[in-house]
Amino acid sequence: MRKALGAKLGAKMQGLSTFRATQNNWFSSDGREQNIKDYASLLSELVWKRQTSFLAAAVLAAFYFDAVSVFATYALVALTEFLDVDLGRKSKSWDGQDPVVGRKIFKRIVINTIISALAISVFIVNMALQQSSTGHFTPLFFLFSASVFAAMYNSQLIGILLLRLTFYGFAFLFIAVFDLVRYAPPLKSQIWLEFFTIIFVLYFIVDISIKFSLRHKERLEQMKQIKEESERAKAALEVKAQFLATVSHELRTPLTSIIGALELVKNDTLTSLPESLKPIINIAARNGKRLAALIEDLLCMQKIESNEMEFDFVSIDANDLLCETVDSTSGVASKLGIHVTIEPCAEACSIIGDRDRLVQVLTNLLSNALKFSSYGNTVKARVEALGTRIRISIHDEGLGIPAGSKDRVFGKFSQVDSSDVRRIGGTGLGLYISKQIVERHNAIIDYVSELGVGSTFYVEFDRGTDSHN
Ligand code: ADP
C-alpha cells in the first residue's frame, strides 16, 4: 500500500515540476511577451485620448500657422493611429506563446513608433519653422506633452520608448539649434538660455522615462511572484487533497473488515470468549467505529473542499425529513435514556434540497444533542414556518455552549474545550461539514445556547414550491 501511495505521490510531484518548468519558461525572457502585449493593447486603448489632444493641437495650430501644412502633417499622425489600432487587435489575439508572431508584432511596433514619432516631430517642427520670433513656446510645449505622455504610457518597452524619445529629442534640439544658427546670438542672449533650458528639459524627460520603466518592471516582477505563489499554493492544496483521499481510501477497506471481525467476535455466542478479553474487544470495536467515522468525515470534507460533492436538489417535505432523521437515531436515543419529541409544522412546508445531505446535517445536529445531554433529558425536534422561511431546529437540555464559541463550533477539527467534550469524543468536523452543506443550499445554520441550560441548533431554508399539495 505504501509503495502504491509513494508511486502516486511521485507521479504527482513529477507533474508539478513539469508544470512549474512551463511556467518559468513563459517568463524566461523577463516577461517580454507580456510587455509586448501590454504595450500594444494600451496603444489601441488610448487611441481616442491621444487623438483628441492631437486634433485639439492641430485645430489650434491651424488657426495661427499655415493650415494646409498643419493638417497635412496631422493627417500623417492620424494615419499612424490606424496602424496602432490594427496592431493592438493583432496582439490581443496572440496568446503570448508563439515567438514568431511575437517577433512580427514587435517589428511592427518599431515601424509604427518610427512613423508616429517622425510624424509628430514634423508636425511640431513645422510650427516652429513658421515662427519668426524666438521662444517657440507652443511647439516646445506640445513636444514636452508628447514626451511626458510617452513616458507615462509606453514604459513597458524601454527600447521603444527611447526610440520615440530620440526622435522628440532631435526635434527639441533642432528647434533650439535652428535659432542659434539663424540668429548666431552671443552667449548672453535669451536664445542660448532657451537652448540650455531645452537640454535641461530633455534630461528631465529621460529621467522620468527611466523611472516609469523601472516601476513597470517592478510591478511585473510582483505580478510574477504573486502568480508563482498562487500556483504553488494551488499545487500544494491539490497534493494535500490527493494525499487525504488516498490515505482515507486505503484505510477504509481494511478498517471495515477489522470492525466486522470484532463485531463478530463480540456477538458470537457459540465460541465462549474469556471474560477478561470482553472489555478489550469492546474498546477495540468502539475505537474502530470512531476511526471509521473520522475517515468518513475526512473524505466528506475533502469532497466538499475540492468541490466534488454533487447535490441532487429536489422538493422535500421538511416534516418527513425530520421524522426520517429522528427514526434513524431512535436506537441511540433509547440506549442513552433520552426522550426525543417531534413537533411538525402544521402547514405544508416544502424546501428544496438534497435529501441525503440534509439527513446527514440533521443527523449530526441530533446526535450532538444526544451526545451532550444527560440520561432522562428530552430533545425536541421541530419544524416551523417563519413567513417565507422554514426552520428545522433541535433543542436539547444538555451542557450548553459558552458564549463566543461560534467560530470553534463551526470550525474544522475544533471542539469547544471542556473535559466533558473530551470525555464524549468526536472529530470536530461534523458541524463544519454541515455548515458547508447548508451553505450550498443557500440556507443558514446557527444556534442559541446557554451554558448549563441547553442549546438549540437550527437550519433555515427558503420555502420551496410545494409539490405535495
Ligand atoms: P464533534 O464531532 O466534536 O461533535 P461537531 O463539529 O459536531 O464535532 O461539534 C463541534 C463542537 O461543538 C463539539 O465538540 C461541541 O463542543 C460543540 N457542540 C456541538 N453541538 C453541541 C450541543 N448540542 N451541545 C453542546 N455542545 C455542542
Closest C-alpha to ligand 1, atom 8: 428
Angle at 35 between CA 32 and CA 37, to 5 degrees: 115
**Where residue 466 falls among pLDDT bands split at 50, 70, 90?**
low
Q: Ligand 1 pocket check: which of 297, 363, 365, 368 to mutate, most ligand atoms within 8 Å of Cβ?
A: 368
285 or 19: which carries more pLDDT confidence? 285
Residues 371-383, mean pLDDT to the nearest whole number: 94
Q: Give residue 434's pLDDT.
A: 95
CB 155 near ligand 1, within 6 Å:
no
- Distance between CA atoms of 92 and 61, rounded to whole angstroms? 35
Question: Ligand 1: which atom is nearest the Cα of residue 432?
Answer: 6
State the number of CA atoms in the 13 A half-sphere of 349 facing the CB.
Answer: 23
Residues 435-456, mean pLDDT to the nearest whole number: 94
Question: Ligand 1: which atom is nearest the Cα of residue 428?
Answer: 8
425 Cα: distance to centroid of ligand 1 (angstroms): 9
Bridge partners (DSSP) of residue 378 are 339
CB 445 near ligand 1, within 6 Å:
no
**Where residue 26 falls among pLDDT bands split at 50, 70, 90?**
very low
328 or 467: which carries more pLDDT confidence? 328
Closest C-alpha to ligand 1, atom 23: 369
CB 421 near ligand 1, within 6 Å:
yes
Question: In this model, does residue 427 exceed pLDDT 70?
Answer: yes
Question: In this model, does residue 351 exceed pLDDT 80?
Answer: yes
Percent of the chain with pLDDT over 70: 89
Q: Give residue 38's pLDDT.
A: 75
Question: In this model, does residue 455 exceed pLDDT 90?
Answer: yes
282 Cα: distance to centroid of ligand 1 (angstroms): 24
Residues 361-373, mean pLDDT to the nearest whole number: 94
- Lowest model confidence (mean pLDDT) among 17-21, 156-160, 249-253, 328-332: 17-21
CB 160 within 8 A of CB 32: no
CB 42 near ligand 1, within 6 Å:
no
Q: Ligand 1 pocket check: which of 415, 422, 447, 450 to mutate, most ligand atoms within 8 Å of Cβ?
A: 415
pLDDT per residue as tens digits for the range 287-297 = 888 888 888 88
Residues 258-277, mean pLDDT to the nearest whole number: 79
Q: Give residue 216's pLDDT.
A: 78
Question: In this model, does residue 426 exceed pLDDT 80?
Answer: no
The domain 314-462 is placed in CATH, from the list 3.30.565.10, 3.40.718.10, 1.20.1260.10, 3.40.1190.10, at 3.30.565.10
3 Cα: distance to centroid of ligand 1 (angstroms): 38
- Residue intervals of the chain classified under CATH 3.30.565.10 are 314-462
Closest C-alpha to ligand 1, atom 12: 409
Bridge partners (DSSP) of residue 387 are none
- Lowest model confidence (mean pLDDT) among 35-44, 51-60, 429-438: 35-44
CB 454 near ligand 1, within 6 Å:
no
Q: Give residue 157's pLDDT.
A: 78
Closest C-alpha to ligand 1, atom 19: 368
Q: Give residue 317's pLDDT.
A: 95
- Sequence-ordered list of residues with C-beta below 8 angstroms from that of 33, at least 6 positions apart, any chain: 26, 96, 97, 102
Question: In this model, does residue 442 exceed pLDDT 50?
Answer: yes
- Lowest model confidence (mean pLDDT) among 77-91, 135-149, 400-414: 77-91
Q: Give residue 14's pLDDT.
A: 42
Q: Give residue 297's pLDDT.
A: 86
Q: Would the pTM of this model clear 0.75, i.e. be above it?
A: no
428 Cα: distance to centroid of ligand 1 (angstroms): 7
Question: Ligand 1: which atom is nearest the Cα of residue 425?
Answer: 3
Q: Give residue 425's pLDDT.
A: 65
Residues 182-194, mean pLDDT to the nearest whole number: 87
Question: Ligand 1: which atom is nearest the Cα of residue 400?
Answer: 25
Question: Ligand 1: which atom is nearest the Cα of residue 457?
Answer: 23
* Grid coordinates belonging to 468: 405535495
Q: Give residue 423's pLDDT.
A: 52
Q: Ligand 1 pocket check: which of 409, 449, 451 to mutate, most ligand atoms within 8 Å of Cβ?
A: 409
**Where residue 457 falls among pLDDT bands split at 50, 70, 90?**
very high
CB 165 within 8 A of CB 150: yes
Q: For residue 177, what is the enclosing H or E element?
A: helix 158-183
